[in-house]
Amino acid sequence: MDDRTYTADAEPGDTVTVAGWVHEVRDLGGIAFLILRDTTGKIQVKFEVEEMDDDLVETGLNVHRESVISVTGDVEEEPRAPTGVEVTPASVDVISEADPELPLDPSGKVDAELSTRLDNRTLDLRKDEVKAIFEIRAEVLRAVREQFRELGCTEINTPKIVATGTEGGTELFPITYFGQEAFMNQSPQLFKQLMVGSGLERVFEIGPIFRAEEHNTPRHLNEATSIDFESAFADHTEAMDACEAVVKAAYEAVEENCQDELVALDLADEFEAPEGDFPRLTYEEAIERINATGELDEPLVWGDDLPTEGEHALGQDVGEHYFITDWPSEIKPFYIMDKDDEVSTGFDMMHPEMELVSGGQREHRYDHLVDGFEQQGLDPEAFDYYTKMFKYGMPPHAGWGLGGERLIMTMLGLGNIREAVLFPRDRQRLSP
Amino acid sequence: MDDRTYTADAEPGDTVTVAGWVHEVRDLGGIAFLILRDTTGKIQVKFEVEEMDDDLVETGLNVHRESVISVTGDVEEEPRAPTGVEVTPASVDVISEADPELPLDPSGKVDAELSTRLDNRTLDLRKDEVKAIFEIRAEVLRAVREQFRELGCTEINTPKIVATGTEGGTELFPITYFGQEAFMNQSPQLFKQLMVGSGLERVFEIGPIFRAEEHNTPRHLNEATSIDFESAFADHTEAMDACEAVVKAAYEAVEENCQDELVALDLADEFEAPEGDFPRLTYEEAIERINATGELDEPLVWGDDLPTEGEHALGQDVGEHYFITDWPSEIKPFYIMDKDDEVSTGFDMMHPEMELVSGGQREHRYDHLVDGFEQQGLDPEAFDYYTKMFKYGMPPHAGWGLGGERLIMTMLGLGNIREAVLFPRDRQRLSP
């Protein structure tokens, strides 16, 4: 698009104009090197102080780090240069001068706290290993959408401003909407279900969700990216198959297309796409295995939700992605179909470190669904826009929601989920 | 995924289980036909009243329209059937019975108001021509993303909860965010600009935007899908090239991959992807041509914004997609780079019916940008999270935002932008 040459494309013998950021200037006396960085890499620019025009040398050696410049000159082979080539400049143009004091060092030589990094994301993303996270994130989204299309899904976009939350009034951000009370949606759950009863039958959505949870942990966000799937005429086992296919497709695409990024993150050797089927443990097996690890002070009993330490102990024990199925009905949402009086079709898909996915077959029977709302203490009337469609031919259906940032975080072993978001939102952070 | 056979795949000689919705039952006396509909099409199920099991016949002929059923039986050739085959049922299973009274007729025989359709989107989307809009929408999003990747863009996701709007406090929906005042973002403008100064350099985002405008027209939404592009080291002409490439890619993908949907919309004959370059008119040429049409009571003079009737007259005159460039600086946002004292690098891209895109080269010089905020009556301090990054090496850059729903609306000749959204949000409509 722009007519500069990317640094990665500069070949010996070419005369090029390269443009980007001043990564570093090393003045060795009679000779000086400026390292120019652009999105494709870095290139060495050589200044021979005695032999070159004074203005040119002065410009090149006095420009502040992280300024934007363009350099025109001949590319020559130079085995001692980092990329094997260097540019001898005929002209240097300072396009956008940087302040000499930077709030963050993009060369990475000086470590920065996460909060400083997030306050200065523009500079932070000039580091190869940070940029790599977001190149991988983009590739994951691409691969996931492609896999959904292979599964026969239609992409949908559902509203983020809603009259009611999915599971009632807790944990919702209220909005003033033309004088009416409204909320930012915490999940596309109800809308994607409405779509499986339409002619679309099988849908996916990747979009923002908003949760007013007062968590303050390394794995919760108040605005996150949800990857949602829902299919007519599917049961929970088929939804699990789709879930496994999507997660594997994400890993495989990163393995295939992001080797440079994995190198930048120092993950090239250890990164592996999951192979084989994800084990499917029942809830009962899960609590038995957790109890057997002896990691919990109190053994778990039927009906307990899994505490974080329990999830962690089980994750260590299993050592790969796995499902937990056959959850007690009472700890799964009312819109999940029950298998019998005690056990539901709900499932979770787990990375050894944390839960990634929650799903199940849905309750598609109108009377049961309305009863569910009432048992939950919710007013079915308020959800009439949703429930009434269940009276007009709603097929059996199943689906799930996958936390996009958790997928990236666990895939890349990031210590904090905020590292997987350009501009995270939490209780303390509202800008940038 | 599910083990039924899609109706489109049922071949003579097969024994199949098909499942879907009861589209129609025609009882001709001794013989009756049930038309079963699924996402791939329709199939005829034949009941021979005298020769078949009474229970089977009774189930098949008494089931209400739009109920979900499954039918197992042999497929035979039948030239008089709508698809050339029919199923002789061995069993019929009613999976989800529909109420006999439907709020909307999915067969399309009875017209419905748009508001009734939007209240009952599940049923509305059982109509081929409505489903087709959303299949095309999904294909447009796929093709647009692919084109962005071909242009070297990285996909980004920016926050929808923000501390300040792009252009100040008007037309924003306020949120209560953990006791702080916040807003739903009206544009990713500031965030995508922050990313061109990072190592990503060239980015795109497709996501929701929120505008508290009190419009109530067939072409405004309060929640819409914005298709955003921003590139470092690009000027407005290069941004226009990218814009043209993206819009053409959308049309070409629909032409290539959505013929069935175009047939359903009765557009197969007239649909054409734009060919050749979009004409680029200056603002000055644009007002001259509008004045020459004689459609306006008052001729336009330099500095006037283009009224809707003016846009319309010009669109009729040009007859294809076109750009308007060289707008007066005073009617473009302050973050658009000026060419000189009078003229800016701002541009609009127009469909003959309406504006689709607004873009330009951006002001990347810190001092000019801060002055711009002040001249706009905005407090630069409140935007410090954004402006401060312009002190640390911000390259020249350009970009644009394209209204996703307007693209679909104009592409398919829809009369109301709400037809291009599953669950539109306007001043009156907050659910479903």
Inspect the interface and report whether the beta carbons of A123 and B392 lie closer than 8 Å.
yes
Q: Would you state the pLDDT for residue A106? A: 94
Pairing type for strands A85-96 and A68-77 reads: antiparallel
Q: Is residue B326 part of a domain?
A: yes
Widest Cα–Cα separation across chain A: 88
Q: Tell whether B94 is within 8 A of chain A (Cβ).
A: no
Q: Would you state the pLDDT for residue A382? A: 87
Q: Is residue B339 part of a domain?
A: yes
Collect the ranges in chain A with pLDDT lower than 70.
1, 166-170
Q: Tell whether B348 is within 8 A of chain A (Cβ).
A: no
Q: Is residue B289 part of a domain?
A: no
Inspect the interface and report whether the beta carbons of A208 and B364 lie closer than 8 Å.
no
CA A69 to CA B335: how far, in whole Å? 22
In chain B, the residue whose alpha carbon lies closest to the alpha carbon of A196 is: B122
Q: Would you state the pLDDT for residue B308? A: 93
Using a CB-CB cut-off of 8 Å, the residues of chain B touching A161 are: 173, 184, 210, 222-223, 425, 430
CA A391 to CA A63: how far, in whole Å? 70
Residue A167 counted as an annotated binding residue: yes
ipTM above 0.90 for this complex: yes
Distances (CA, A) of A208 to A130, A219, B3: 22, 16, 33
Instruction: Note whether A252 and A345 are same-domain residues.
Output: yes
Query: Residues B259, B148: contact at Cβ < 8 Å?
Result: no
Proportion of chain A above pLDDT 70, given as a percent: 99
Closest approach of B138 to chain A, Cα-based (Å): 5
Sheet with strand A354-361: strands edge to edge: A154-155, A202-210, A223-232, A397-403, A354-361, A347-351, A322-325, A280-282
Give the A:B interface size as CB pairs under 8 Å.
287
In chain B, the residue whose alpha carbon lies closest to the alpha carbon of A96 is: B393
Which H, E and C letters describe A54-75, residue by residue?
HHHHHHHHHCCCCCEEEEEEEE
Using a CB-CB cut-off of 8 Å, the residues of chain B touching A38 are: 201
Window 379-418 of B: residues touching A by CB (8 A cutoff) are 385-386, 388-389, 391-396
Inspect the interface and report whether the beta carbons of A194 and B121 lie closer than 8 Å.
yes
Please give the angle made by the CA atoms of B46, B52 and B55, to the nearest 5 degrees: 100
Q: Which residue has the tokens 């443990």?
A: A281
In chain A, the residue whose alpha carbon lies closest to the alpha carbon of B191 is: A432
Instruction: Note whether B244 and B391 are same-domain residues.
Output: yes
CA A74 to CA A45: how far, in whole Å? 10
Q: Is A27 helix (H, G, I), strand (E, B) or coil?
A: strand
Inspect the interface and report whether the beta carbons of B98 and A199 lie closer than 8 Å.
no
Given A126, A210, A388, which is nearest B161 (Cβ)?
Answer: A210
Reading the block at residue A393, the tokens are 């031919």
**Average pLDDT, stretch B220-229?**
97
Q: Which residue has the tokens 């734009």?
A: B274
Instruction: Note whether B17 and B150 are same-domain residues.
Output: no
Instruction: Note whether A226 and A324 are same-domain residues.
Output: yes
> How many DSSP H helices and E strands does chain A contain?
12, 16
List the domain range (segments joined by +) for residue A85. Answer: 12-94
Radius of gyration of chain A (CA): 27
How would residue B132 be classed by pLDDT, with cut points 50, 70 and 90?
A: very high
Q: Is residue B80 part of a domain?
A: yes
Instruction: Note whether A18 and A85 are same-domain residues.
Output: yes
Q: Which residue has the tokens 């009571």?
A: B297
Instruction: Note whether B246 and B395 are same-domain residues.
Output: yes
Window 107-166 of A: residues touching B by CB (8 A cutoff) are 119-128, 130-131, 134-135, 137-138, 141-142, 145, 149, 151-152, 154-164
Instruction: Note whether B61 and B185 are same-domain residues.
Output: no
Residue type, A4: R
Distances (CA, A) of A72 to A10, A265, B277, B292: 11, 32, 32, 48
CA B66 to CA B179: how far, in whole Å? 47
Inspect the interface and report whether the beta carbons of A159 and B365 lie closer than 8 Å.
no
The last residue of a domain, from among B77, B94, B111? B94
Q: Would you state the pLDDT for residue A1? A: 62
DSSP A363-428: ---HHHHHHHHHHTT--GGGGHHHHGGGGTTPPPEEEEEEEHHHHHHHHHT-SSGGGGSSS---SS
Query: Residues A82, A36: contact at Cβ < 8 Å?
Result: no
Say which residues have a Cβ less than 8 Å from residue B292's Cβ, sequence separation at least 6. Answer: none
Q: Is residue A391 part of a domain?
A: yes
Inspect the interface and report whether the beta carbons of A392 and B38 lie closer than 8 Å.
no
Q: Is residue B202 part of a domain?
A: yes
Using a CB-CB cut-off of 8 Å, the residues of chain A touching B241 are: 1
CA B339 to CA B328: how far, in whole Å? 10
Q: What is the pLDDT of residues A53-81, one digit of tens each?
A: 999 999 999 999 999 999 999 999 999 99
Q: Is A231 helix (H, G, I), strand (E, B) or coil?
A: strand
For position B350, which CATH number holds?
3.30.930.10
Please give the angle made by the CA atoms of A109, A114 and A116, to the nearest 5 degrees: 75
* Alpha helices (H) in B300-357, listed in sequence order: 308-318
The last residue of a domain, from among A52, A78, A94? A94
Q: Would you state the pLDDT for residue B378? A: 85
Instruction: Note whether B64 and B200 are same-domain residues.
Output: no
Nearest one of B133, B119, B116, B125 to B413, comparing CA atoms: B133
Q: Is B145 helix (H, G, I), strand (E, B) or coil?
A: helix
For position B89, which CATH number holds?
2.40.50.140
CA A398 to CA A325: how far, in whole Å? 14
Q: Is residue A424 part of a domain?
A: no
Q: Would you state the pLDDT for residue A304? A: 96
Say which residues have a Cβ less than 8 Å from residue A143's Cβ, sequence separation at least 6. Answer: A249, A250, A252, A253, A254
Burial of B110 from C-beta contacts in 10 A (0-12 / 13-18 / 19+): exposed
Q: pTM of the entire structure?
A: 0.97
Nearest one of A411, A417, A126 to A253, comparing CA atoms: A411
Q: Would you state the pLDDT for residue A326? A: 98
Instruction: Note whether B252 and B349 are same-domain residues.
Output: yes
Using a CB-CB cut-off of 8 Å, the residues of chain A touching B103 are: 388, 392
Given B173, B184, B389, which is nearest A122 (Cβ)?
Answer: B389
Q: Estimate the crossing angle of helix B236-257 against helix B404-412, to 10 degrees.
A: 50
In chain A, the residue whose alpha carbon lies closest to the alpha carbon of B198 is: A122
Closest approach of B345 to chain A, Cα-based (Å): 16
At residue B215, does pLDDT exceed 90?
A: no
At residue B169, does pLDDT exceed 80?
A: no
* Alpha helices (H) in B187-294, listed in sequence order: 189-196, 236-257, 259-264, 283-293
CA B322 to CA B315: how far, in whole Å? 8
**Average pLDDT, stretch B198-224?**
95
Q: Would you state the pLDDT for residue A175? A: 93
End-to-end CA, chain B:
29
Please give the angle made by the CA atoms of A113, A114 and A119, to the nearest 5 degrees: 100
Residue A70 counted as an annotated binding residue: no
CA B432 to CA B423: how far, in whole Å? 6
Q: Would you state the pLDDT for residue B166? A: 67
Instruction: Note whether B32 and B164 are same-domain residues.
Output: no
Query: Residues B171, B165: contact at Cβ < 8 Å?
Result: yes
Please give the angle made by the CA atoms of B174, B346 and B411, to the nearest 5 degrees: 75
Domain count along chain A: 2
Q: What is the pLDDT of residues B34-63, one digit of tens each?
A: 999 999 999 999 999 999 999 999 999 999
Q: Would you state the pLDDT for residue A34? A: 97
Q: Tell whether B199 is within 8 A of chain A (Cβ).
A: yes
Distances (CA, A) of B132 to A37, A200, B198, B256, B289: 47, 9, 40, 14, 37
Q: Is residue B428 part of a domain?
A: no
Which residues of A are the active-site residues?
211, 213, 219-220, 355, 358, 406
Instruction: Note whether B130 and B90 are same-domain residues.
Output: no
Please give the angle made by the CA atoms of A304, A307 and A311, to the nearest 5 degrees: 110
Instruction: Note whether A158 and A16 are same-domain residues.
Output: no
